[in-house]
Every structure is written in structure tokens, then in C-alpha cells.
Amino acid sequence: MVKRFGVLWDPTVNEVVRDTVGPTAPLFETLTHLGDGALLLVLGVLIYWFGARATRRDRAFVIAVGTAALALSAGMKGIVQLPRPELAFTVAGYPGYSFPSAHAMGSAAFYGALAVTMTRGRPVWRYAAAGLLVLVISLSRIVMGVHYLGDVIVGSLLGFALVGIGVWFREEGTFDPGPMFVLATLIAGLAAMLGSRVFLTLTIGASLGGIVGWYYVRDRSTTSSGAAVLVLGSGAIVGIGGLRLVSAWIGFTALADANSTAVFLAETVGYAALTAFVLVVPWLAIRIEHHPVVRSLQTTLPFRGTVVDPQSTATSEEG
């Protein structure tokens, strides 16, 4: 593929770009973190948990598009298995495969989904801001020498394409996360059938958990207590981090062991449960919103000024 497509996978392009940005290269190495999967995950979850309840479907849509992007990028990496560039400035020991760029695809999917679901500001400015972020993140991957030009072009185009598919499924101006979670599951399953093993338990688990969690909670009432969401959500964040650490400790070599099937199923179920839990937190939090600790946090943290009103779909101000 590298020889066939020439300049798109030519390491000299990385060198030219690196020389062009010159002394600003360290800045790009910092800005690249705007496309880190962990950051996008946290941002997506926080936006879903603490945004206005009237836009809950739109906010869940952002998570669903991100899940589909994760499944697609991981699956393609595991199928193509293109090694990363080997340049003097390439980060030593940088893990994973090169094609496509998960940073480019993930940022295009996440920031693109935000741009189409947000209502503040003019659409043209939202789209321009999303495009600029994706351009900077993509350029940073070339500057760092961890991706070829073709990797980031394909990644960003596919990320925006996933957003476009989600827009196509929109009904009466409302985005539906369900079809995107189903698409993510199909992508992860197809990638597995084609031999990909990159983040396979994560992609399958998160996709299935998204389907179960969203279709369970989509028509249910949610809390107006930010503190209740925070208390329950903290457990989800800890669980996600813990599961990733356990997965990393086990390593891919475990898949070759006699208990590989058990390990695979355990990880997949774990990611599915955590993803479903993330989606049901705003509903589940209703059960603890009157707990003394939660009510105390509600008045002392940045949620101050809002109170729980179970009879209303909106928060009210303290008198």
C-alpha cells in the first residue's frame, strides 16, 4: 500500500512538515492530546451526564459516534497492520499500528458530532471550529512522526463520514444514538471476522453495552441533581480505569492461553456493563438524589443554586 499510493505514505512528507513547523513542533506535540481517546471519552461522558436533559439524545449520540469511530479505527488497524513511520523524530516505542490514525478519526467523529448537535452559535462557526481542531490534531500526528499523511486523511474522512451517517438517521431534527451503537457493533463484529484483535473486547463490549444501556434508558426520566450523577458517575470512571489496567496487565498473550475464551468474555462483559452503566447513570441517580450526602454536595459544589424537583423536568432555583 505504501508504494502504491506514493506521497500519502511517504516518510519524507513527515520530514518536510516537521521542518516547516520548525520551532513550533513542541506545541503540536502538546495539541495532539486534544485527540487522545481518554480525553474524548471523559469529555463525552461529562457532557452526557451534566448537559440539559432536553438534549439527552443528542448528547448520547456524541458517545455513540465516538464508539463507532473506536470500533472502525481499531478494526482497520488490526486488519491492515501497517507499521508506524521510522524517523529520527518518531516517538520511541510508540505502540500500535499506523493506519488509520485513531486520533484523526476519533477527533473528527467527536468534534464533528458536537458541531452538528450543538445549538449555540452559528452552524458555520461550529463546523469551522471542528474542522480546525481536526486539522491541528491530524497535523500533529505527522509532525510527531507517528502517522503518515494518508493515515490522517483517511482517518479524518472516515470520522466525518460516521457523523454524516448519524445525521442521515436523524428524525424530525432529533439524533438517535441507537442506530450508531448498532453500527459500531456490526463494525466490531466484522473486524473480528476479518482477523482484527486490536482492542477487540473493548470495541465489542462498548458497542453492545451502548445498545443495551441506551434502549433501556432512552424513554425514562432522569435526575435533576448534578451531585447524584457525580456520586454514581465517579464509580463508573474508576471502573473504566480499573478495567483498562487489568486488561493491560493481562495483555494480548492471554488470548493464546487455555483460558483465552474466559478472559475474552470477561473483558467484553466488563466493558459492556460499564458502557451501559454510563448511559443509565442519570436515570439511576434518581434513587440517591435525596440522600443527605448528595443533598449536601448539591449545595456546596458548583451545582449550588439548583434543587431536585421530582415533579418537574427542569431544575429550579433556591429561594
Q: Which residue has the higher pLDDT, 45 or 54?
A: 45
Distance from C-alpha of 260 to C-alpha of 210, rounded to nearest angstrom:
24
- Which residues have C-beta within 8 Å of that of residue 27, sequence separation ≥ 6? none
What string of H, E and C letters represents the secondary structure of 131-160? Answer: HHHHHHHHHHHHHHCCCCHHHHHHHHHHHH
pLDDT of 314 above 50: no
Q: What is the DSSP letter of 285?
A: G
Question: pTM of this prediction?
Answer: 0.86
pLDDT for res 250: 54
Q: List the beta bridge partners of residue 163.
A: none
Give the model confidence (pLDDT) of 235-249 as tens digits: 766 766 666 666 556
pLDDT of 259 above 80: no
H/E element holding 231? helix 226-250
| Percent of the chain predicted with pLDDT > 70 | 84
Q: Which SS3 state, helix, strand or coil, does residue 214 take?
A: helix
Q: What is the DSSP letter of 307?
A: E
pLDDT of 93 above 90: no
Parallel/antiparallel/unpaired status of strands 316-317 and 306-307 = antiparallel
Q: Which residue has the higher pLDDT, 189 or 5?
A: 189
End-to-end CA distance of the chain: 66
Split at pLDDT 50, 70, 90, the class of 193 is very high
DSSP codes, 234-258: HHHHHHHHHHHHHHHHH-GGGGGST
pLDDT of 251 above 80: no
Grid cell 451526564 — which residue?
Answer: 49
Read off φ and ψ for residue 232, nearest 5 degrees. Answer: -70, -40
Distance from C-alpha of 260 to C-alpha of 255, rounded to nearest angstrom:
4
pLDDT of 153 above 90: yes
pLDDT of 62 above 90: yes
Split at pLDDT 50, 70, 90, the class of 296 is confident
Contact 138, 103 (CB under 8 A): yes
| Percent of the chain predicted with pLDDT > 90 | 54
DSSP codes, 198-210: TTHHHHHHHHHHH
Distance from C-alpha of 267 to C-alpha of 312, rounded to nearest angstrom:
39
Weakest mean pLDDT among 175-184, 188-197, 281-290:
281-290
Distance from C-alpha of 103 to C-alpha of 84, rounded to nearest angstrom:
14
pLDDT for res 316: 37
pLDDT of 307 above 50: no
Each domain of the chain, given as residue ranges in start order, spans 12-218, 220-319
Average of per-residue pLDDT values in the chain:
85
- Grid coordinates given for 318: 433556591
Split at pLDDT 50, 70, 90, the class of 169 is confident
Contact 22, 16 (CB under 8 A): no
Contact 267, 200 (CB under 8 A): no
Split at pLDDT 50, 70, 90, the class of 184 is very high
